[in-house]
Structure 1
Amino acid sequence: MLPRGRILSEVLAQTVAAYPDNDAFIDNESRETWRSLSEKVDRTAAALWQRGVRKGDHVAVMLGNGVLWLQTFFACARIGAVTVPINTRFKKEELVFCLKQADAKAIVLTGQFLGIDFAALLSEVEPALAVGLPGEVLPKLTQVLMFETASVPAGAIDFDQLLASMSQEDINACSLQCGSVSPDDILLIQYTSGTTSFPKGVMLSHDNMLSDAYAVSLRMGITPEDRYFSIRPFFHVAGSTLSILVSVSTGCCLLTLPKFDVSLALAMLQREKCTLTSGNDTIFLMLMGHPDFDASNLHLRGGWAAAGPEVMQKIHDQMKVPNLCNAYGLSEASPNVVMSSWDDPLPLRTEGWALPHKGVQVRIMDTNTNEIMPAGQAGEIEVKGWSVMRGYYNMPEVTARTFTEDGWLKTGDLGKMDQAGRLKMVGRLKDIFRVGGENVAPTEVEGFILMHEAVELAQVVGVPDERLGEVPAAFVILKQGHSCTPEELIAWCKPRIANFKVPRYVQVVDSFDQIGMTGSSKVQKNKLRAYAIAVLGLAEPTK
């Protein structure tokens, strides 16, 4: 029976009580037991409470994978505050949009991460950080709490010093005063690329995420003795739900790295005798293609992948992982909708056929007739049940359009079901494409390109790439009397948007008429993609 109606602080407390001295979290710098992690959470919650963070407040987290992310996330949950994960690859425009749209009261960040000066970036977003908050750009942002920095701006707090100053009385006071948290309270707002020009904030409750994590752990067959290596960024739900909360729900040890370095990942898998892992096509192909790869050095028995049949088969045959599960989901569903069971027959797992979790319903709809499709016929995947989001933050109209009149979430993905009720995702109805596991909305990239003074019209599609799966290709029409080379446009994009959104290819065209236009004068993306593949001399990946 799937446990429901839980809150994160209670689940963490139960796991700490059951396995206090077991390994809870390991990276290349930290090694925490459940007891030591819990102590860090207590101290962090007390510090946030002292700085005025209360139930319902939105706390942005701009940290890489590590124990600081965990203790901040758990501390916010203890108070009842809402964690707003920030993609560490965001540039100025994306960061200011998310902080403003999310009504962030506080942000927890590190001074630098992987060569990026987060302090300088935030100062560029909100100049008042240099003198004192709040400022004019982000008037609701009153707390900037910085880890691991030698120079703290006048408007920020040295979070390391604040944590060190917390006494047992402070910790007790926070525990007594922070009040009750409900399973239906929002735990996290996940920003995800969509069909709008900027990301949308998916509101996920404690019940959404914890129930999804537990259901996934059952499909994966996890025990407290497992050692689960996940390189998925914690700022994605594949990291927060399917890594962090899976570990907390089961008591297994979570292992990670701040970024995906193939050699370091293989070394950790071997050294720490990891039994489970997760990833997409790109991650597994890079692991198996590395000179250091030797399946005989690994101890993997399972985990999950969002991967096609060929890659799933390769993981089984070459990586020697016997019980890997196939997964499908989306942020709006916490994220996992279906996952094959570790003991399902191999053909079902490699081909991607999986049952929905108990209490989650799936149907396949004909988008033209709005009728349910029979078994074996492809249509749009729609989802209903406990995993579905509470809506997009401050976007009621967009939220309404995302649901059917009878309350089903429209995923925008193409799938089919078999007679047994198993689902297989077969494609995307949306224009979104994935670059090495990152969702990219063409309209978002187009919006940035259109900020260039020489560009009149821009259209972006995802085109095949051997390493990343897909990469952006941009086709632009220039304004009359203006000039701009493809190289100049790519260079202009690089400092403005995350690198995975920067077009790999740019072509200047005179019009889109010959490529394909709809009756309402919209470029047909499927025809543009086919044109791009042909003109760029690319090849579709083998099915």
Structure 2
Amino acid sequence: MLPRGRILSEVLAETAAAYPDHDAFIDNDSRETWRSLSVRVDRTAAALWQRGVRKGDHVAVMLGNSVQWLQTFFACARIGAVTVPINTRFKQEELAFCLKQADVKTIVLTETFLGIDFAALLAAVEPALATGLPGEALPTLTQALMFDTSAVPPGAINFDQLIASVNDDDIEACQTQSGTVSPDDILLIQYTSGTTSFPKGVMLSHDNMLSDAYAVSLRMGIKPEDRYFSIRPFFHVAGSTLSILVSLSTGCCLLTLPKFDVSLALAMLQREKCTLTSGNDTIFLMLMGHPEFDASTLHLRGGWAAAGPEVMQKIHDQMNVPHLCNAYGLSEASPNVVMSGWDDPLPLRTEGWALPHTGVRVRIIDANTSEILPPGEAGEIQVKGWSVMHGYYNMPDVTARTFTEDGWLKTGDLGKMDRAGRLKMVGRLKDIFRVGGENVAPTEVEGFILLHEAIALAQVVGVPDERLGEVPAAFVVLKQGYSCTPDELIAWCKPRIANFKVPRYVRVVDSFEDIGMTGSSKVQKNKLRAHAISLLGLAESAK
């Protein structure tokens, strides 16, 4: 049975008491034990309390992966405030939308991050930062608390100095006066990664996220002595639930970096003798494709991946990770819905077949008829149970459309189930395109292209075609030292896969960064498709 009905501050207290001197968090700038991290949280919570942050207040966190992110998140949870993670890739319009839509009262930020001037970006959204908050653009935003700042704007407060000024009486006052926090209280509002229009604020409770983290840790077989490297950004649920809270729930050490630098990631995996890691197909392929990759220097035994069969097999064979789990989920489900067990037979894990967590139900529905489909048939994945969100913040109509009349979450993802109740995600309904009446799942074509010895990364989209409606267009990144022309790749595909799946167009690119990627290292298919249509000179209206 899962230990349900918990709140974050209780779990932190239990973990800190059980493993006070064990490593809790490591990056290139910090090294914290559970004891020292807990002290940071005490002081940060007291500082927030002094500044008037109360239960239910929305606190935006605009930081890169860091110990400051953890201490702020945990401190908000202790008070009962709601953390609103800000995607560090957001531009001015996206930042303004999220801060306003989420009714943010306090923002915690750093002055700069990876060359981005966060202070200037916030000032562009709310000019009153230069004089005094609140302002006219964001009338609910009453304060900005800044870490690592050399010059605090008049409308902001030096958060490092504020935390340093906290004394024991302040800490006690916060702990005794902050009141009761319930497992069903909202812990975090997760703004979706923005692959479609403006993001939506997914409301997740303490129970949602902590239960999901613990369930995942059981499937991964995590032990307190494990060292878990995760490059997933903390502003994403793969970072908050599946990295931070998995570590918190088990007492294992979490290791990370501010951004995914392949060389630095490989160095940390080796130097710190990491036993677990996580990522999607892009992350793992970039690690294995790097000139400095040497599986013999690594100590990995497991972790999880959201990846197709070809990539899962490569991770097992080339990276020598014997017990990697396959995972499927979405922000609206906290996020993990199914994860294979670390000791499941390898074919189940590579192919992506996994059981739902205890208490989470999954069904496959015909998107046209709403009928439940039998085992083996592909349809929309729908989910019900304790991991499902409390809705989208201040979007009742959108929330209603996202659920069926009988309360099932419509994921928009395509999947199928076997007779044992295992789920396999096939693709995303919105990504499926039709070539002359035949459905094509981009993930299937991408997985096939990756079998070519010269291809490091592959992304496929459907683009307009006058005769067939749509045809595949592939963008590929070559492995270092290899060559392959578009014509050569098309010729290689033709005798090996169905003709309607063979890319009509192939373009070789250096990376997908300039085309569009989310902070969780996913290629934004809507942006890639628009780029392809423009690059190829196609007409959107072609049928």
Q: Following the alignment from structure 1 to structure 2, what is the Cα–Cα distance between the partners of residues 273 and 46?
A: 35
Q: Deviations over 1:440-477 (max 9, x none)?
A: 9x9xxxxxxxxxxxxxxxxx999643359xxxxxxxxx
Q: Following the alignment from structure 1 to structure 2, what is the Cα–Cα distance between the partners of residues 461 and 219?
A: 39
Matches within 5 A, 1:225-304: 225-304=225-304
Q: Following the alignment from structure 1 to structure 2, what is the Cα–Cα distance between the partners of residues 277 and 316?
A: 13
Q: Following the alignment from structure 1 to structure 2, what is the Cα–Cα distance between the partners of residues 269 and 340?
A: 23
Match of 2:508 in 1: none
Q: Deviations over 1:326-368 (max 9, x none)?
A: 0000000000000000000000000000000000000000111
Match of 2:4 in 1: 4
Q: Deviations over 1:401-440 (max 9, x none)?
A: 00000000000000000000000000111259999xxxx9
Q: Following the alignment from structure 1 to structure 2, what is the Cα–Cα distance between the partners of residues 390 and 3?
A: 20
Letter in 2 for 1:172: E
Q: Of 465, 487, 495, which residue of structure 1 is paired with 2:475?
A: 465
Letter in 2 for 1:408: W
Q: Following the alignment from structure 1 to structure 2, what is the Cα–Cα distance between the partners of residues 509 and 292?
A: 39
Matches within 5 A, 1:107-506: 107-193=107-193, 197-431=197-431, 464-467=474-477, 504-505=531-532, 506=534
CA gap of 1:196–1:27, structure 2 versus 1, over 3 A, is closer
Shift of 1:374: 0.3
CA gap of 1:361–1:510, structure 2 versus 1, over 3 A, is closer
Matches within 5 A, 1:29-178: 29-178=29-178
Match of 2:502 in 1: none
Q: Secondary structure at the match of 1:15?
A: helix
Q: Following the alignment from structure 1 to structure 2, what is the Cα–Cα distance between the partners of residues 369 and 117?
A: 50
Q: Secondary structure at the match of 1:199?
A: coil
Q: Secondary structure at the match of 1:466?
A: strand
Sequence identity of aligned pairs in percent?
81
CA gap of 1:65–1:464, structure 2 versus 1, over 3 A, is farther
Q: Following the alignment from structure 2 to structure 1, what is the Cα–Cα distance between the partners of residues 242 and 328?
A: 12
Match of 1:20 in 2: 20
Match of 1:475 in 2: none
Shift of 1:196: 6.3
Match of 2:504 in 1: none
Q: Following the alignment from structure 1 to structure 2, what is the Cα–Cα distance between the partners of residues 5 and 87?
A: 29
**Does structure 2 retain, via aligned residues, the 8 Å contact 1:282–1:467?**
no
Q: Following the alignment from structure 2 to structure 1, what is the Cα–Cα distance between the partners of residues 323 and 344?
A: 8
**Does structure 2 retain, via aligned residues, the 8 Å contact 1:262–1:287?**
yes
Q: Following the alignment from structure 2 to structure 1, what is the Cα–Cα distance between the partners of residues 34 and 5?
A: 23
Q: Secondary structure at the match of 2:6?
A: coil
TM-score under structure 2 normalisation?
0.83
Q: Secondary structure at the match of 1:216?
A: helix
CA gap of 1:463–1:401, structure 2 versus 1, over 3 A, is farther
CA gap of 1:510–1:3, structure 2 versus 1, over 3 A, is closer
Q: Deviations over 1:111-164 (max 9, x none)?
A: 000000000000011001000010000000001000001011100000011011
Q: Following the alignment from structure 1 to structure 2, what is the Cα–Cα distance between the partners of residues 295 and 245?
A: 28
Shift of 1:512: 3.7
Unaligned runs of 5+ in 1: 443-459, 469-492, 517-543
Q: Deviations over 1:7-32 (max 9, x none)?
A: 00000000000000000000011000
**Does structure 2 retain, via aligned residues, the 8 Å contact 1:192–1:201?**
yes
Q: Following the alignment from structure 1 to structure 2, what is the Cα–Cα distance between the partners of residues 303 and 195?
A: 26
Letter in 2 for 1:343: D
**Does structure 2 retain, via aligned residues, the 8 Å contact 1:126–1:138?**
yes
Letter in 2 for 1:54: R
**Does structure 2 retain, via aligned residues, the 8 Å contact 1:232–1:239?**
yes
Q: Secondary structure at the match of 2:254?
A: strand
Q: Following the alignment from structure 2 to structure 1, what is the Cα–Cα distance between the partners of residues 411 and 515?
A: 30
Corresponding residue pairs, total: 468
Letter in 2 for 1:13: A
Q: Secondary structure at the match of 1:90?
A: coil
Q: Following the alignment from structure 1 to structure 2, what is the Cα–Cα distance between the partners of residues 28 and 367?
A: 47
RMSD over aligned CA atoms reads 2.4
Q: Secondary structure at the match of 1:5?
A: coil
Q: Following the alignment from structure 2 to structure 1, what is the Cα–Cα distance between the partners of residues 430 and 104?
A: 29
CA gap of 1:510–1:63, structure 2 versus 1, over 3 A, is closer
Worse-superposed segment, 189-198 or 211-220 = 189-198
Match of 2:456 in 1: none
Shift of 1:63: 0.3
Letter in 1 for 2:67: V
**Does structure 2 retain, via aligned residues, the 8 Å contact 1:300–1:320?**
yes
**Does structure 2 retain, via aligned residues, the 8 Å contact 1:431–1:461?**
no
Q: Secondary structure at the match of 1:183?
A: coil
Q: Following the alignment from structure 1 to structure 2, what is the Cα–Cα distance between the partners of residues 230 and 494?
A: 24
Q: Following the alignment from structure 2 to structure 1, what is the Cα–Cα distance between the partners of residues 320 and 429?
A: 34
CA gap of 1:288–1:153, structure 2 versus 1, over 3 A, is same
Q: Secondary structure at the match of 1:153?
A: coil
Q: Following the alignment from structure 2 to structure 1, what is the Cα–Cα distance between the partners of residues 475 and 15?
A: 42
**Does structure 2 retain, via aligned residues, the 8 Å contact 1:269–1:298?**
yes
CA gap of 1:406–1:273, structure 2 versus 1, over 3 A, is same
Q: Deviations over 1:189-215 (max 9, x none)?
A: 000146863100000000000000000
Q: Following the alignment from structure 1 to structure 2, what is the Cα–Cα distance between the partners of residues 512 and 466?
A: 23
Q: Secondary structure at the match of 1:173?
A: helix
Q: Following the alignment from structure 2 to structure 1, what is the Cα–Cα distance between the partners of residues 535 and 270?
A: 45
CA gap of 1:413–1:494, structure 2 versus 1, over 3 A, is closer
CA gap of 1:345–1:100, structure 2 versus 1, over 3 A, is same
Letter in 2 for 1:465: F
Q: Secondary structure at the match of 1:16?
A: helix
CA gap of 1:511–1:221, structure 2 versus 1, over 3 A, is closer
Q: Following the alignment from structure 1 to structure 2, what is the Cα–Cα distance between the partners of residues 76 and 424?
A: 36
Q: Following the alignment from structure 2 to structure 1, what is the Cα–Cα distance between the partners of residues 343 and 108?
A: 41
Match of 1:526 in 2: none
Q: Following the alignment from structure 1 to structure 2, what is the Cα–Cα distance between the partners of residues 72 and 202?
A: 19
Match of 1:479 in 2: none
CA gap of 1:113–1:463, structure 2 versus 1, over 3 A, is farther
Letter in 1 for 2:139: P
TM-score under structure 1 normalisation?
0.83
Letter in 2 for 1:306: A
